[in-house]
Amino acid sequence: MQGSVEHFDVIIVGAGLSGIGAAFHLKRDCPSKSYAILEGRDAIGGTWDLFRYPGIRSDSDMYTLGYNFKPWREAKAIADGPSIRKYVRDTAAENAIEQKIRFHTLVKRASWSSADALWTVEAEQGGSMVRYTCNFLFMCSGYYAYSGGYDPHWDGRETFKGRIVHPQFWPEDLDYRGKKVVVIGSGATAVTVVPEMAKDASHVTMLQRSPTYVVSRPAEDASANWLREKLPAMLAYQITRWRNVLFGMFFFNLARKRPERVKKQLIDMVKQELGPDYDVGTHFTPRYNPWDQRLCLVPDSDLFKAIKEGRASVVTDTIERFTETGIKLQSGQELEADIVVTATGLKLEMLGGMQVVVDGVQKNMALAMSYKGMMYSDVPNLASAFGYTNASWTLKCDLTCEYVCRLINHMQRHGYDQATPKSDPSVAELPWLDFSSGYVQRAKDVLPKQGVVKPWRLYQNYALDMLTLRMGRIEDGTLKFAKKPAAANTNRPEAIAAE
Ligand SMILES: Cc1cc2nc3c(=O)[nH]c(=O)nc-3n(C[C@H](O)[C@H](O)[C@H](O)COP(=O)(O)OP(=O)(O)OC[C@H]3O[C@@H](n4cnc5c(N)ncnc54)[C@H](O)[C@@H]3O)c2cc1C
């Protein structure tokens, strides 16, 4: 552990879409506050830098996945990974955020001292441990483990003579031209990778245990592009953003109120895409209702085109075992493969896997209740950026950043050092995410809870959050404020001020 400890008013953990957005908001709304970004990897962009599989792209539109302060100017609304990475990097460069990032700094532990009203953050940096202190800790570390994805056990896996690849660690040298490929999975990654690989592979089979709702949308949004030609960029962006937000909310509410009707509409659309002879019932009719899990978006029907042209196919079955040459299914069918892609998903992880200690006691974050979807019961001066499940991630992150800046400014105005959502045992708990998806169910034991009433309730509703987070009272009776004991001012001789 190094000797001197650098101090910042705010430490942001993570230099992905959220972390760069958080830095922008801090700089704009709390210009007197010093901050640093601690990033475990060597690059800006998070998800959009890590994932390199063929065709990597967003599955929500960039008018809502983009920041509210920086218009998306590209023609494609469903954008490819490199364009999103560039958008995040440009934001960092344009706002002098790059120089605030400490790369290769993987945060392992944060401990809060109420006596000092300080977080001490411990991180691994180039093989040794470093320490920082800060008054407020803003976790922008995403929601899944960077160390590895979900990789289930299958019998016989070691006997397979071909190559097995997980999309989170795509090998640069993977040559799939002319090869038989099986992609295991039916989520966003599978529906992206299948049509893309099908352009060069001899054939790609999407092997799924059960189907997902798949919806096609144009990759380019003609009206958004028209508006951008006619109007100033920011105005055009805001109009399209609001149109998409409202449409998304309308569609989500309709799916919750009339699931049968929405289900029929979605399935009918797939039938139109694939024609009357295709078995849509088996391969594209999920057992759950729309929005019980995230819908999968495909741009310009690319998946359906690949299927219709015979370059790709879907098999709905369960794996019995791997063989030397492919995969044997419970139905008895065997799929031959040179390459198997395990698009089986992510491993959810909270707060970047960091250990949280409050006044000497280690917190089990799975027992904590989320406050306004960003802070945690009985954990002072810490917020995390977490997006919507039913809309684009950044919509919620922008609001979270605005709220955190309001909170920091409020504390400064009133001379408070500590803000803690005070737990209330009388509030009944609900799971944090009400998705039936496997990755959410698998992570039940690591996710915090939400409460049945506000401010503990997660509404997954942008318009409502906009009102409450932008305009709601900071002092709501649940968030408790305190000043540090006077003696604490001289209590940290080892801390040196940053900038
Ligand atoms: C393949 C894929 C496609 C997606 N598509 C969409 C989409 O279309 N629309 C949508 O809304 N959402 C999508 N998502 C969700 C997506 O992750 C978010 O949209 C968004 O990119 C998350 O940004 P983030 O900065 O919060 O997290 P991340 O992008 O995960 O970035 C987190 C950063 O924090 C760093 N970090 C983590 N832990 C630590 C630690 N302990 N110490 C230091 N640094 C740490 C990581 O290295 C990383 O750089 C997608 C996710 C994936 C995996």
pLDDT score at 453: 95
pTM for the structure as a whole: 0.95
Preceding omega of 455 cis (within 30 degrees of 0)? yes
Query: What type of residue sits at position 211?
Result: P
Mutation to probe ligand 1, out of 18, 47, 89 (largest number of atoms < 8 A from CB): 47
Q: Going by DSSP bridges, is the β-strand pair 339-342/180-184 parallel, antiparallel, or unpaired?
A: parallel
d(CA 118, CA 358): 10
Cα-to-centroid distance, 384 and ligand 1 (Å): 12
- Of 44, 141, 146, the one to substitute when testing ligand 1's pocket (max ligand atoms within 8 A of C-beta) is 141
pLDDT exceeding 70 applies to what percent of the chain?
97
Task: Specify the residue with its C-alpha closest to ligand 1, atom 51.
Answer: 47
Q: Which atom of ligand 1 is nearest to the CA of 15?
A: 49
pLDDT in tens, 438-465: 778 888 888 999 999 999 999 889 999 9
pLDDT, mean of residues 125-139: 96
pLDDT exceeds 60 at position 491: no
How is residue 407 written in tokens? Answer: 């909170």
Residue closest to 8 by CA, chosen among 38, 29, 52, 28: 38
Cα 305 from Cα 272, distance rounded (Å): 12
Could you identify the residue written with the tokens 């967003």?
58
How many Å is the Cα radius of gyration of the chain? 24
Per-residue pLDDT at 118: 98
pLDDT tier at 1 (50, 70, 90 boundaries)? low
Question: Does residue 5 carry a pLDDT above 70?
Answer: yes
Ligand 1 site-directed mutation target among 393, 404, 437, most atoms within 8 Å of CB: 393
Determine the Cα–Cα distance for residues 305 and 423; give it in Å rounded to an integer.
Answer: 52
pLDDT of the residue at 497: 37
pLDDT band at 495 (very low <50, low <70, confident <90, very high): very low
pLDDT tens-digit profile of 407-417? Answer: 999 999 999 99
pLDDT in tens, 28-70: 999 999 999 999 999 999 999 999 999 999 999 999 999 999 9
Q: Which ligand 1 atom sits closest to the C-alpha of 105?
A: 43
Report the alpha-carbon angle 372-378-382, nearest 5. Answer: 60
Rounded distance from Cα 81 to ligand 1 centre (Å): 12
Model confidence at 487, in pLDDT bands (50, 70, 90)?
Answer: low
**Cα dihedral 152→153→154→158 (10° resolution):** 120
Instruction: Give the Å distance between the CA of 245 and the centre of ligand 1.
Output: 21
Pocket of ligand 1 from Cβ distances under 6 Å: 13-19, 38-41, 46-47, 51, 58-60, 65, 106-107, 140-142, 146, 188-189, 352-354, 385, 387, 392-393
Cα separation, 38 vs 17, whole angstroms: 14
Task: Convert the pLDDT of each residue in 76-100 to its tens digit.
Answer: 999 999 999 999 999 999 999 999 9
Q: Which of 300, 296, 303, 305 is nearest to 221 (CA)?
A: 300
Residue nearest to atom 5 of ligand 1 (CA): 58
Q: Which pair of tokens denotes residue 212?
A: 């997902």
Which residue type sits at 382?
A: L
Higher pLDDT, 303 or 488: 303
Pick from 159, 86, 78: nearest CA to 340: 159
96 — alpha (psi -120 to 50), left (phi > 0) or beta? left
Using the predicted structure, report yes or no on whether residue 489 has a pLDDT greater than 80.
Answer: no
Distance of CA 254 to the CA centre of its chain: 24
Give, for 105, the enclosing helix (H) or strand (E): strand 105-113
- pLDDT value for 494: 40
Distance from the Cα of residue 358 to its chain's centroid: 26
pLDDT (mean) for 316-330: 98
C-beta separation of 308 from 315 below 8 A: no
* Confidence grade of residue 3 (pLDDT, cut at 50, 70, 90): low
**Residue 496 pLDDT > 60, yes or no?**
no
Mean pLDDT score of the chain: 94
The atom number, within ligand 1, closest to the CA of 78 reads 8
- 183-187, 374-378, 438-442: least confident range: 438-442
Locate the ligand 1 atom nearest the alpha carbon of residue 107 and give its number. 42
Q: 240: CA distance to ligand 1 center in Å? A: 24
Residue 299, phi then psi, degrees to nearest 5: -80, 135
Query: Can you give the pLDDT at residue 499?
Result: 30
Which run of H or E residues covers position 314?
A: strand 312-316
